[in-house]
Each structure stands twice: as C-alpha cells, then as structure tokens.
Structure 1
C-alpha cells in the first residue's frame, strides 16, 4: 500500500509531503491546478521516463520519494529478498532524483538501483489506468489479452508460444538438412582430411614445446648466468650468503634495544631463509640441465609442422587445437543432418505437440468467453447502456501462429434487435469510454498489485452514470488501495480520502495538495457540480452525494 509521498522541487511543488490513506482516495482541483502532479511523481518513482520539465523552475534537481507498506508473503517481499533489499521496517522506499541536465538517479531502500529494477518492483506495487486506455480496445489483440488476463491464462498461452517456437525451429533444421544434402558429402570429406592432418599434432602442447626449444637454444647462456649467480650467492670467497649471515650476527645483539631494529632483524632472517631456498633450487636446476641436440632437432621439426599448418589454415600455431575442435563439432552436426527423414519426424512430433497445446488453450478460452461477456454486459448496462450486449467471436486463423488457433474479436451492440458487431466499428466515443472503464475495473479485481491508479478514466460520463462508477470504485477499494483523479463530483463523493490540488500564485507559481475534512469536502463537491458560484442548492446537492456514500456503507 502507498503510505507517503514526498516531492521536493518537482514541477509546481516546492516541498510537499503527503500521507495516503487506505481505501478509495480521489484528487480533484480546478483545471491547471496540477492534478497530475502526484501521479507524475509516483510514475517517476516507479521507473517511468522523465524529462527536465519535472525539475521546478530555478532548481538544479527534483527529488521524489514514495513509501509503501507490504505483507511478508507478498510478491514484492519475495522480490526484495531476492535482491537483498529487504529491511526490518517492513516498508519499501523508492526514490528518484531528476537533474536539470536530464540525468536521473534512483534508489530502493537507500541502495542505488537501476530504472529496470524500479520498473520491476513498480509493476508489483502499482497498476496504472489512464483515460487513453479506451484506445487499446480498438487494437486487434486486446480482446484476447483481456480474456487471458482476467482468467490468468498466461501459463497455457506461454506453453503454446514455446511449442510453436520449437516447431518452427525443427522446421528450419529440417530445411537446413535438405539444403545441405548437395554439399554435405564434400564438406564431410574435407573436414575428415583436415582432422586427420591435425589429429596427432593437437595432442602436443604447442606452448610447452616452444618453451623447451627456447630453453635448449639458450642452454649455454643459461648455464653461464646460473653458475655466476650460484657463485655469487654461496661459492665465492665473499658471497652474499656469508655477508647476510654477518649482518644478522651484528644486529642480533641490538634487536632487543629497538622495536625498529627488531623488525629489521626479523626481515633479514626471513631474507636469509628465502636466499637459502633459492640457492638450493638453483644448484638443483644446474645439476639437472643437460644439452640434447637430438631433442632440440626433434622439437624444431615439430615446431616447423605447427607453423606450416598454421599458415595453411590461416591461423596462429597455438590456435590449431581450437580449429580442430571447431571442425569436430561441425562434422558431428553434419552427421546429425545425415537423415532428413528423422528430422521430418521431429517436425511432425513438435507440430502435434503445438496443436495439442493450442487446442487446449482455444478450448479454455471459448469456455471462459461466454460468462465473461455476460459479466461485462451486466456491468456496462448500469452505465446508461440498458440494451448493451457483448459476445466473443472466434474465427479460425488461415495460418496458425504462436498466439493460438483463433482470431478473437469482442462484438458489441447498444441497441435491442441489432446484431453485435466488432466493437471498433459500432461503438461511439462515449460508449468506448464507459466500456473501457468497466473492463479496467474488472481487470483491477484480478491484479496482484495493491495500489490501483485511475487517471481521469471517468471522462465522458456524468450524472447517474458517474455515481455508479463511483460505487464500482468504492467497492473495489474494499480490497485494494485506489488513487483516482476525477472531475466528477459523484465519483469524488464516494471516496474515503479527498485530496484537493490548489495552485498558489507565488513566484514562481506552485501547487499544493491538502486533505479535506468533511465541511471542506462539501464545498469542493459543490464547486465541482455548480461551478464558481456556490449556493444553497449546490451545497444541498453536495451533501446529498455524501449521504449516499454513508447510506451504502
């Protein structure tokens, strides 16, 4: 649930802190007062796109924070736990800072986060419905998506998409096998020759023999330098080992007189130990070295083969093993393509699997469509459309797709005796707005989000219709938190919390949002119904609207 919003230098708000209550919350205000201020700020916290217009004039940045409460076993609680963002407070704090330069930064519970993370958690917390949602009704895929969403057919629909993808993939593999038949045999022969040529060579570690050859090539210089080093370390009359031992003896008697000298003394003891080990290893290395001209010639021949084949196959000697593995993989794949009939069988199996899943999805959609259309009809009839009738029409697709077997249309008629036709063809603008409103409310009943935001979705309705819309939203608010921007007094009268947006003529201009007590609510409802001049008649009407709220409760 949304509990608090803080806006600092955001658009028309200089500093605004607002507590949001449970239930049905409405925002009203005169045109131009900034009613969208709160929703824009909330959208920014949910990771939506922003621009520099959100930064208050004269400021270098805008700062918005939205706070939510949540239940321990909720999807958002699981998301926070997976991202190691949960804390003991039991709250979610989403913060967004928008700079005048166009950049923005985001935080979740105090930790810097990406906009993608904000959007992920935002989809779990808030569902937004706007006045433009009615345009979605006119898009061909919408009836199918609405049906799937209402009945939560996401899993079988995804299973159909996956099965279709597998079927198409198998078709492509089968076609590739057919196309490869002409050249496959020649390519297999070529790969076999190449692999045979490299088979013995790739068993040898190129880097290892290159290093051994380099050591034998410089054997004389290595032995000279090693002998000189051993002599200097341990065999000369004035060698390093003796000198260090002498230094240690001199400092040993003074080590207890100074902490710094003690550290130096211990460091020299460690150095003496390291030198002794190095000297012993060097002596062992010298004793084991011998020059083998036959081995050197053998290595030289192997290196020549490496370089010759590297030139032949246009690669580096050390990469021949990698080329060998690549050819081996390609050869294996070509052998798998050897029998197109086997792949044809796989295509048919995948096709039948797709058809079975798609038929199941089509069946459950058809079974669910009639009761859903009936429910939509009953809801829409209340909104001054007494003869409204809806039905779903399933038309078999000429060519099946990842979306199923049928094209689904939502048919509508507003007049008795007139057959239902596609919604986009026969519904007027006013009818579309009411239908969209009902479909959104029905969707909202199924959403997992605990906060629903309705942005002027009641545009185009009035009077008794608006009153029914208010009742629908008030009933829905018994299960979830609702935030609604409205111009309709009949809708606002049904709310639990009434927030008024007011513009102040400061320099620069600013907006504020205040929670209205009952008397102030009556005045605002009177303004919404009667305009600028508020008289006894409009006040009485406003009181009656509020009484309807309490009577229904």
Structure 2
C-alpha cells in the first residue's frame, strides 16, 4: 500500500509530506485548491508523462517520492527480486525528478531506473480510475474487455489470439509455397549449375594464390633487396651486427654507474638479439626462394578464372566462396520446402485448433454474461435507477478474428417495459457516469493492485446516490487502499482518512494537505454541503452523514 508521499517544488507544493493510511482515503477542497496535486505527483512516480508545468515557479526542478509497503510473496516483490531491487526494509521507494528544462530522472529503491521500469512496477501497485473513464463505455470493444477482466478470462482469450495468429501465419506460408512452386524447379536447376561452376574454384584460397603470384612476379627484386639487407646486417666488413656489438662492449663497463645507462645497455642487448634473429630468418628465406615459371603460369590461370567468375556474378573475387555457401543454403531450403498439400493440412489443423479455443471462449463468455449482467443491474439500481436492466448481446462476426467468434454488446434500459438497447445509444450522461462508476468498482474488486485511485468519478451524482457510492467505496476499502478525490460530502463522510487540500496565498501561492480530525471533518463536510456560510443546520447534517458510516 501507499504509505508516504513527499513533494518538493511540485506545482503548487513547496515542501509537502503526507502519510497515507490503509482503507478509504478522500481528498477534498475548494475548486482550484490543488486537489489533483497529490494524484499528479503519484502519477509522476509511476512513470506517467510529465512536463515543465509540474516544476514550481522559479524552481530549477521538482522532486517527488512515493513510498509503498508490500508483502513478501506479492507480484511486486517478485518484480523487485527479478530486477535485483529488493531490500530488507519491505518498502518500495519510487522517486522522480523533473527539471525545468523538460528532462526527468527516475529511481527505484535508490537505483537509477527507466520510465518503462517505473510503469512496470506502477501497474502492479496502483490502478487509476478517472471521471473520463465513462467514455470507455462507448467504445465497441469495452463490454468484451470488461467481461473478460471481471471473469478472469485473460488466459483463454490470450490462447485464442495466439491460435488465430498461428492459423493466419500458416495461411501466409501456404500461399507463399503455392507462389514459389512454379519457380521452384527452375530455381533449383539454376542454383545447381552455378554451384557446379564454383565447386572447384572455392577449394582454392584466393588471397593465398594472389599473394604467391605477386611474390613470384617480383622474385628478382625481392632477392636483390633481401641480399643487400642481409649483407648490411651481418655479412659486410662493417655490418650492423658488428657495430652494435662494439657499442655494447663500450657501454657494458659503465652500465652499473647510472640507471639510465643500464636501461640503454639493456635495450641495445635486446636490439642485438632481434637483429641476429632477423638476419638468420632473412638468410633462411633467401635460401628457400626459387623462381618457378610453370607455377607462375598455373597461378595466373587460376586468378583469371576467379576474375572471370567474379565479373559474371558481379562480386569481388574473394567473395565467391561466401556466394557459394549462400547458394548452397538456398538450394537446401528449396529442397526442404514442403509442398502446398502438406502446408494445406497444417492450415486446416491450426484452423481447427483456433475454432476449438474460440468456441470454448465464446461458451464461457456466454455463461458468465448472464450472472454478470444481473449483478451489474443490482448494483446500478441502488444509484437512483430502480428500473435499470442490463444484458449482454452476442452477435456472430461475419469474419472471425483473434478476439473471438462474437461481437459483444452491453444493452441497457432505465425504463420499465422498454427493451434494452445498446448502452451508447440510450444512456444519458448522468446514467453513463453512474454505470461507469459501478463497473469501475466491480473491476476494482478483481484487480491485483493494492492501491486504487478514483479521480472525481462521482461527478454527476448527489444525495442518496452519492451516499451509496460512498458505501461502495468504503466496503471496497476494507480489502484495498483507496484514494478518492470527491466533491460529494456523502462520499467523503464514509472515508477512513480525510485529507483537506488548501491553497495558501504566499508569494508564490502554494498548496498544503492537512489530515482532518473528527471536528475538522464535520466542518469540511458542512462546507461541502452548505457552501461558504456554515449554519447549525449544515453542521447537524454533516454530523448525521458521519454517523451513517458507523451504523
């Protein structure tokens, strides 16, 4: 659960620290006070997009930290362990720094992290529902997704998508085989001729024969230069070997008198050894060289073949071997290419697999739809819609897809005796907001996240309806931690912790968040119900709202 939030230079917050309790927590305050401040900061810590507007006026950066506690065997614990971010504290520290330049940095438990990692861990910790979520109800895929999520059909739905993709892939492979079949034999014949032409040539190392030919072509010059070099090094009257030996003898007696002379002496001794080795190798090289005109003609013929084939296939001579291997691989692939009939069988098998999984998914969806629609009806009826009725409608798709065999619609009617129609067609704005709220609460009952955030989802309701919404959230708060921004006193009265957001006219202006004790809660509830002037009547009404929580 979320235990602590710390905001520094974040929007209207100068230096704000707040502890969050377990259960149902509400944030209230006058319009413009900055009620969304805490949720914006939390979103930043969860890897959501930020901008420079979050940096307080005249500040260089905003700094936000969110602290969560977690259980040892929870999904977030496994995530931390996998990423080597777990520690003995049993806490998760998510930190985000936003610079006035637009850049931002993130940390998880003190280690620099990416926004992608923040989002990954964030999805395990927090689920956010906003007042705009009702628009999702109007999107055609939403009823199916909601049904799958509430009924925990993720795995069978994923298997249907995977089997559909496998079926489609086999269709494409089969068609490619049909297209390739006509040219296959001709291509095989061409490759076999080309490979036969290169078969003898690629056994020869082009670079080796090129170097050997170059050496024979310059044989006379090589012998002259090597003879001269050997003479200077070791065979003339004043050769280098003798001269360096003389130098070494002169310096040997002085080497111990200076570290620098010692280094010079050692270097010369090493040089003498290198020169002697070079002279011996050079003498050996000269002795082994001989000019062979027949070998030179043979090499010339081989090089001509290399160059002719290279021109023919428009590549470099030393690339012929690689080209040979490429053609070999292509030929092997063509020989292994399954005929269209075999692939057609695979298409049919994968189609049957898809149909089996899709029919099973369609069946369990239909079985779950009736009780789910009934449960939704019962919940919505409490929100001043006594004649509400829901049902799911399954229509076979003209063309099946990875989403299943049926198009699923959520039908609704708010009036007795009138048949249910598609929700988007008949529900008013107020009805949509109440339906969305109930569906979100029902979804929240199934989520693995331990923190649920509701951002003004009770817009458009009031009175007894708001009271029932408050009870729904309070009941949910017994199982998970809830943060809720609300304008409804009936909702706020049901909370376990009441946080008041107030704007202070400092220079520049700033917001603060105060945890209200019981007397202060009564005052705030009275303000929410009665406006600026708080009378004894509004105070009594606020007390009655609080008493309802404990009944």
Q: TM-score, normalised by structure 2?
A: 0.90
CA contact (8 A) 2:252 2:265 kept: no
Q: Distance in 2 between matches of 1:205 and 1:45?
A: 62
CA contact (8 A) 2:455 2:484 kept: yes
Superposed displacement of residue 163, structure 1: 1.3
The residue number in structure 1 matching 2:325 is 325
Aligned length: 548
Superposed displacement of residue 60, structure 1: 2.7
The residue number in structure 1 matching 2:66 is 66
The residue number in structure 2 matching 1:154 is 154
The residue number in structure 2 matching 1:82 is 82
The residue number in structure 2 matching 1:549 is 549
Superposed displacement of residue 203, structure 1: 3.5
2:95 maps to 1:95: yes
Superposed displacement of residue 47, structure 1: 1.5
Q: Distance in 2 between matches of 1:234 and 1:77?
A: 77
Superposed displacement of residue 130, structure 1: 0.5
Q: Distance in 1 between matches of 2:85 and 2:46?
A: 16
- The 1:478/1:190 distance shift into structure 2, 3 A limit, reads same
Root-mean-square deviation (CA, aligned residues, Å) is 2.9
CA contact (8 A) 2:245 2:272 kept: no
Q: Distance in 1 between matches of 2:64 and 2:220?
A: 75
Superposed displacement of residue 192, structure 1: 2.5
The residue number in structure 1 matching 2:460 is 460
CA contact (8 A) 1:234 1:241 kept: no
2:52 maps to 1:52: yes
Superposed displacement of residue 231, structure 1: 6.7
Q: Distance in 2 between matches of 1:430 and 1:153?
A: 30
Report the more deviating stretch, 92-101 or 400-409.
92-101
Deviations 1:325-361 (A, max 9, x none): 3333433444455622222112111111111111121
The residue number in structure 2 matching 1:392 is 392
Q: Distance in 2 between matches of 1:224 and 1:21?
A: 95
Deviations 1:449-507 (A, max 9, x none): 12111111111111121122112112222222111111111111122221111111122
Superposed displacement of residue 281, structure 1: 6.3
Mind listing any 5+ residue stretches in structure 2 that lack a counterpart? Answer: none
Superposed displacement of residue 225, structure 1: 6.0
The residue number in structure 2 matching 1:402 is 402
The residue number in structure 1 matching 2:533 is 533
Q: Distance in 1 between matches of 2:86 and 2:232?
A: 65
The residue number in structure 2 matching 1:301 is 301
Q: Distance in 1 between matches of 2:381 and 2:250?
A: 105
- The 1:147/1:297 distance shift into structure 2, 3 A limit, reads farther
CA contact (8 A) 2:389 2:413 kept: yes
The residue number in structure 2 matching 1:346 is 346
Superposed displacement of residue 36, structure 1: 0.9
Secondary structure of 2:197's counterpart equals helix
Q: TM-score, normalised by structure 1?
A: 0.90
Q: Distance in 2 between matches of 1:493 and 1:68?
A: 26
CA contact (8 A) 1:125 1:449 kept: yes
Superposed displacement of residue 408, structure 1: 1.0
Matches within 5 A, 1:231-250: 238-239=240-241, 242=245, 246=249, 249-250=252-253
- The 1:527/1:285 distance shift into structure 2, 3 A limit, reads farther
Deviations 1:513-550 (A, max 9, x none): 12112221111111111111111111122122222223
Matches within 5 A, 1:472-511: 472-511=472-511
Q: Distance in 2 between matches of 1:211 and 1:423?
A: 82
CA contact (8 A) 1:248 1:268 kept: no
The residue number in structure 2 matching 1:22 is 22
Superposed displacement of residue 84, structure 1: 2.6
CA contact (8 A) 2:244 2:268 kept: no
Superposed displacement of residue 271, structure 1: 7.4
The residue number in structure 2 matching 1:200 is 200
The residue number in structure 2 matching 1:522 is 522
- The 1:495/1:220 distance shift into structure 2, 3 A limit, reads farther
The residue number in structure 2 matching 1:168 is 168
- The 1:395/1:247 distance shift into structure 2, 3 A limit, reads farther
- The 1:389/1:481 distance shift into structure 2, 3 A limit, reads same
Matches within 5 A, 1:30-49: 30-49=30-49
Superposed displacement of residue 140, structure 1: 0.7
The residue number in structure 2 matching 1:413 is 413
- The 1:170/1:265 distance shift into structure 2, 3 A limit, reads same
The residue number in structure 2 matching 1:138 is 138
CA contact (8 A) 1:248 1:269 kept: no
CA contact (8 A) 1:251 1:265 kept: no
The residue number in structure 2 matching 1:361 is 361
